[in-house]
Copies of this chain bind each other. A is one copy, B any other.
Amino acid sequence: MRINIPKDHPRAESLRIREKLEEGFEKGLVASAGLIAHGRGEAFDYLLGERTIPPASQAIRTAAAMLLTAENPVISVNGNTAALVADEIVRISKSAKAKIEVNLFYRSTEREIKIKDRLEKAGASNVLGVSREADARIPELGSERCCVDSRGMYTADVVVIPLEDGDRTEALSKMGKKTIAVDLNPLSRTSQKASITIVDNIVRALPTLTENIKDLEGKSDLELERIWKEFDNTKNLKKCVEIINKRLTRMAKEAN
């Protein structure tokens, strides 16, 4: 399946990310539904111009401030996240003193262990949520999608949810948790229900998040809290939609 990607290909970066994901699929980290979900992301990233737009930068800075004031932050990791940004997850975990928990939409112990291994290879020392360790339940969620680790997401005050589904985001919010989502569709239920939504590709957003955490490290809790209390997620999401609209209009004009 590998093709040589010419360096000057207009969408070379997007193709490289896709290759990484397909590699993750071949290794058993990524589910087939994860490939489809990635495609949806690609379409929205194309609409954003495959760059970090200003409202995303603002959301990333706010997320860094929120993580630094959290008591028990947890980063939720699924197959796509592990395949694309395992190293960055570990870096954020260390700089924000956040736990890492595996959390799959389609649970499979085999895949959970592979994801855990990938994260440990990247330097993670304690990966939660694998198999029976997911011993607690998020209320109102059906079947296996509700299982979380009582030492992790269940007792967390802030949860970072890259590539999460809408039901689970909503359920976490109802439990009173603050949620930081990374989602390329500003209109998805995840985007609308999260406390802070970073409308950006995880491969760009997470390194920037690490930088922002380092940049804000010296600030007082009061200063940090002010940053995220002043943030209006709804307004920020509207700005993202406006940017997509403008770009679509411009692309349609330029098409001739």
Contacts and interface: CB of A to CB of B under 8 A. Distances in A.
A248 to B, nearest CB: 6
Contacts of A248: 187, 241, 244-245, 248
Interface residues of A, number: 37
Contacts of A251: 187, 241
Contact of A245 (B32, B234, B238, B245): B245
A35 interface: yes
Contacts of A36: 18, 21-22, 35-36, 38-39, 42
Contacts of A192: 255
A37 B42 CA distance: 9
A245 B35 CA distance: 27
A33 B39 CA distance: 9
Interface centre among A37, A237, A252, by most B CB within 10 Å? A252
Given A39-B43, A186-B252, 4 more contacts: A1-B31, A1-B106, A40-B46, A241-B252
